[in-house]
A and B are shown apart, each in its own frame.
Chain A
């Protein structure tokens, strides 16, 4: 519709040469931009959902296999993780998903100040998660729970094969490590969004970058929703008695 309407305008203005083009570009810009927004949002949605299941799949599979093979060793090894820190981080990530959802909301209604505020809040929560994760990793390093030549695991009463507990920690570090890497990437994306929002790049008509980055952020949250019970709560009942 836009182009046909303008083609007559174009021919009418054709004697002005290049000027006609700039006029048509300007007149068509809002419509064209809106069309591109709808299309890219669609493609972006689909792209993120296509991606989200591939990552970590293999690790989940190896977790299931080894846990089935060594159920008691996995529970014993898991009981040495601090479930309180894990639960705290779960709450932090869920809260960050809320702030991200609100950032998307304010990009939709076009409130730049609140969009910026919630993006920054999301970054702060993401960093909080990583700091807690670093504290946990350090504790595991000090207590020789990092797999490798210095791995030493203290068993409770019925001693099992230390290599089975080591396998749990291999999977623990691989899964939480890949997850943390996604968090770091996510924070990087948020920083870019903050810069773009500061320059006023987002409008109610054009905010797909915020929306699609939000999908990524929630995806990372979902991965943690599964990692928390599988890794931290597996042996939580052992020490509660």
Chain B
């Protein structure tokens, strides 16, 4: 198993991108965009997390098995949120007699 050494330049570039994105998310937070607020904030956060996972955590250069585990983690998180919400959002649809 040969190891991939990520160059220092890549690390500095990712660091710069993360700082720019942090400034951007703070700047945008000053405006009230209604429901878009959370969408924009989370999109930037997901983008930042992806950069950290792919480059700082070397997943881009890792084995397929690592990819499967990373994917599985997010998959279960999606199930947790989706199923809970399908319950939460539909509670009022059915009125149960007392």
Chain A: residues with CB nearer than 8 A to chain B? 38, 41-42, 45-46, 49-50, 52-53, 57, 60-61, 64-65, 68, 83, 87, 90-91, 94-95, 97-98, 100-102, 105, 108-109, 214-215, 218-219, 221-222, 225-226, 228-230, 233-234, 236-237, 240
Contact = CB atoms under 8 A, between A and B. Distances in A.
Given A61-B80, A105-B8, A237-B32, A97 B74 contact: no
A64 B48 CA distance: 20
B69 interface: yes
Contacts, number: 120
Contacts of B12: 98
Contact of B66 (A45, A91, A94, A229): A45
B97 interface: no
A105 B66 contact: no
23 contacts: A42-B66, A46-B66, A46-B69, A50-B73, A53-B73, A53-B76, A64-B85, A65-B88, A68-B88, A91-B19, A94-B18, A100-B56, A101-B11, A101-B56, A102-B8, A108-B3, A225-B48, A228-B45, A229-B41, A229-B42, A230-B41, A233-B25, A237-B37
B93 interface: no
A57 B18 CA distance: 23
A19 to B, nearest CB: 33
Interface string B1-18: 101011010011011001
A52 B73 contact: yes
Contacts of A87: 22, 26
A105 B22 contact: no
A234 B41 CA distance: 9
B85 to A, nearest CB: 8
Question: What 4 A-B pairs have minimum CB-CB distances, sorted nearest first?
Answer: A53-B73, A233-B29, A229-B41, A38-B1
Contact of B45 (A42, A50, A52, A225): A225
A229 B44 contact: yes
B62 A45 contact: yes
- Chain B interface category by residue count: 35 or more
Contacts of B26: 83, 87, 233, 236
Given A49-B73, A98-B15, A222 B53 contact: yes
A52 B88 CA distance: 26
Contact of A218 (B5, B52, B72): B52
A108 to B, nearest CB: 5
B22 to A, nearest CB: 5
Contacts of B70: 49
Contacts of A68: 88
Contact of A237 (B11, B29, B57, B62): B29
A236 B41 CA distance: 12
A179 B48 CA distance: 18
B27 to A, nearest CB: 10
A46 B77 CA distance: 17
